[in-house]
Amino acid sequence: MSSKILLVEDDKNLGDQIVSHLTRDGFEVTWLRDGSSALDAEPTNFDLIVLDLMLPGAHGLDILKIYRETAETPVLVLSARNETSTKVRSLALGADDYVTKPFWPEELLARIQARLRRPLLHATDVIETGALRIDVNARVVENGGQKVDLTRIEFDLLAALAQRLGSAITRQSLVDRVLDPDREGTSRTLDVHFSRVRKKLGSEGARIATVWGVGYRLLAT
Amino acid sequence: MSSKILLVEDDKNLGDQIVSHLTRDGFEVTWLRDGSSALDAEPTNFDLIVLDLMLPGAHGLDILKIYRETAETPVLVLSARNETSTKVRSLALGADDYVTKPFWPEELLARIQARLRRPLLHATDVIETGALRIDVNARVVENGGQKVDLTRIEFDLLAALAQRLGSAITRQSLVDRVLDPDREGTSRTLDVHFSRVRKKLGSEGARIATVWGVGYRLLAT
DNA sequence: TCTGACCTTCAGGGTGACTTAAGGTTCGTG
DNA sequence: CACGAACCTTAAGTCACCCTGAAGGTCAGA
């Protein structure tokens, strides 16, 4: 049961290299070479997406944004520039990691594996990060050993973020998952709940970061 | 001394993977590929059983049931996702854990180790917490040395909470496990039973906490 | 500076939960 | 087979929790 990876990369040489490396390591790789076909792809079909920002046909950031609206699939961004602004913007749009070219294939591989390994934390049912300890089954949260009383929705929201530690989770998917799945129109309900979670978590609450225009993320320590 | 594991799995690829992973981690694995040979196996010869529910020759649930009648060996069930009814039924039949496919080999490994790490806990028939003493086999509850008379359902509910001390147990799983497994719609029956348990337990009854919108939990002392 | 997105407080109401009482079911006994 | 006791279930009234939308303020991006 190998992990499926979607690679969006226009450069033939680089793409070939990446595909051969990932394939050799047991991944199942789908390679798309331009932005328009990337827009047609279904991100939920993959376990992880490697996205080069420099593409003909569409700007990578747009693709990233569209992927983020429809899926929670982790996106790892490649960029030639060493410009921090691009990095900041891609992370703000919900990218999960960022690799600047040139890079060693081993580095990319390591990042991919690091990202794919995270859901495994979920398998243990207990997520520990910083001073927080979240027991998904028992529905118990501790902050520095102190039990924190959360309501059902508050807990579900925090757990949703924690299960994808460091990743941005869209407002829509949080609403779908925790609140009423068929709810339309905008509402500030989500904000209210997060406001309370942050307050109840005290200083640790600051780790719940707002991803502007996207949703929220729980910062890794 | 390595632990002996019985794997019942018909899929060749998946079976190969699991065997190689477990072997690499020092387990001694016996692999059976169909239901009929699984029925002939002697569960008491193993420390843990990994059982795929989707099998030719016999339905996995039948095998689980038969194993349960002859041995206390922990059984870890594999099944395709989105079969919650199967999950409920297998847990009702005494499965000790449940892993949905697809899963990571590491996840399976973690579950196996978690289960093997507390063989005594599972064997423990007596749970003591605070002033309570709950003998699961004898079905006897004492509160500060005083015997408490509980009906069948009352006892099962208390035991269900006690076996996961501190964890929230959902109303649904309690209904599935203690009351009629295929019951639909809402009902206040559970509340009534818990109301009586609390009353019968006196001051200790306050330790049965309501988890609003979720279920109940027995608070650890 | 302007605009849209987000934060926080607050009060109202919907809904889940508790308790009591009564009807129904099961099981053992004469 | 009839009876009774123990137990499970349902119903109804009440209570308590917490979800939600509104409103006003704050903040980030253009």
Distance CA B118, CA B115 (A): 6
Q: Is the pLDDT of residue B84 over 60?
A: no
Give the pLDDT of residue B122.
Answer: 43
Residue that has been written with the tokens 């309900």 in this structure = A189
pLDDT of amino acid B123: 47
A194 pLDDT tier (thresholds 50, 70, 90):
very high
By C-alpha distance, the chain A residue nearest B115 is A124
The mean pLDDT of B116-141, rounded to a whole number, is: 74
Is the confidence at residue B189, as pLDDT, over 60? Answer: yes
pLDDT score at B85: 53
Strands B75-80 and B126-129: unpaired
* Predicted local confidence at residue B87, as pLDDT: 54
Best B18, B78, B104 residue to mutate vs chain A (most A CBs within 10 Å)? B104
Give yes or no for CB of A206 within 7 Å of strand D: no
Tell me the pLDDT band of B102, cut-offs 50, 70 and 90: low
Residue A60 scores a pLDDT above 60: yes
Across residues B175-195, what is the average pLDDT? 82
CA distance B115 to chain A (A): 12
Report pTM.
0.64
Residue A86 has pLDDT above 70, yes or no: no
pLDDT value at residue A149: 92
Nearest to A203 by CA among A152, A144, A149: A144
- pLDDT at position A58: 58
Strand C nucleotides, any atom under 7 Å to a protein CB: 5-10, 16-21
pLDDT of residue B90: 59
Residue nearest to nucleotide C4 (CA to C1'): A213
Q: Look over chain B and give the mean of its residue pLDDT values, rounded to a whole number.
A: 79
Cβ within 8 Å, pair A123-B111: yes
- A120 with B107: Cβ contact below 8 A: yes
The mean pLDDT value for B126-150 works out to: 89
First to last CA, chain A: 31
Binned at pLDDT 50, 70 and 90, residue B120 comes out as very low
* The predicted structure's pLDDT at residue A121: 41
Higher pLDDT, A61 or B191: B191
Q: Is B39 on the interface with A (CB under 8 A)?
A: no
Nearest protein residue to nucleotide D12 (CA to C1' distance) is: B188
Q: What is the pLDDT of residue A104?
A: 76
| A19, containing H or E segment | helix A12-24
More confident residue, B154 or B97: B154
- Averaged pLDDT, A52-80: 76
Task: Tell me: pLDDT of A108 over 90.
Answer: no
Q: For chain A, what percent of residues have pLDDT higher than 70? A: 86
Which chain A residues have a beta carbon less than 8 Å from that of B213?
151-152
Q: What is the pLDDT of residue B142?
A: 93
Q: DSSP secondary-structure letter at B187? A: -
- Direct distance between the N- and C-terminal alpha carbons of chain B, in angstroms, rounded to an integer: 36
Question: What is the least distance, in Å, from the CA of B164 to any CA of chain A?
Answer: 8
B87 and chain A in contact, CB less than 8 A: no
Measured CA B200 to C1' D15 distance, in angstroms:
22
Nucleotide at minimal C1' distance from the B216 CA: C17
Q: How far apart are CA A154 and CA A189, in angstroms?
A: 11
CA distance B91 to B68: 11
Q: According to the model, what pLDDT value does residue B211 have?
A: 93
Instruction: Please report residues of B whose CB lies closer than 8 A to that of A123.
Output: 103-104, 106-107, 110-111
Beta strands per DSSP E along chain B: 4-8, 28-32, 48-52, 75-80, 97-101, 126-129, 132-135, 140-143, 146-148, 168-170, 208-211, 215-218
Query: Quick one: which residue's CA is nearest to C6's C1'?
Result: A191
pLDDT-above-70 percentage for chain B: 78
Among B9, B107, B108, B113, most A C-beta atoms within 10 A, so best to mutate, is B107
A146: which residues sit within 8 A by CB, 6+ positions away? none
Rounded Cα distance between A98 and A116, Å, is 15
* Chain position carrying tokens 């180790």: B113
Is A152's Cβ below 8 Å from some Cβ in B?
Answer: yes
Q: What is the pLDDT of residue A177?
A: 83
Residues engaging strand C (CB under 7 angstroms): A 171, 188, 191-192, 194-196, 198-199, 210, 212-215; B 171, 186, 188, 191-192, 194-195, 198-199, 210, 212-215
B20 vs A19, higher pLDDT: A19
Determine the average pLDDT of the residues in A67-84: 73
pLDDT band at B119 (very low <50, low <70, confident <90, very high): very low
pLDDT above 80 for B25: no
Q: Is the CB of B195 under 7 A from strand D?
A: no
C-alpha pair distances (Å), B202 with each of A190, B129, B139, B155: 40, 15, 19, 15
> pLDDT by residue (tens digit) across A141-158?
999 989 999 999 999 999
A104 to A14, A21, B18, B57, B188: CA distances (angstroms): 11, 11, 31, 50, 61
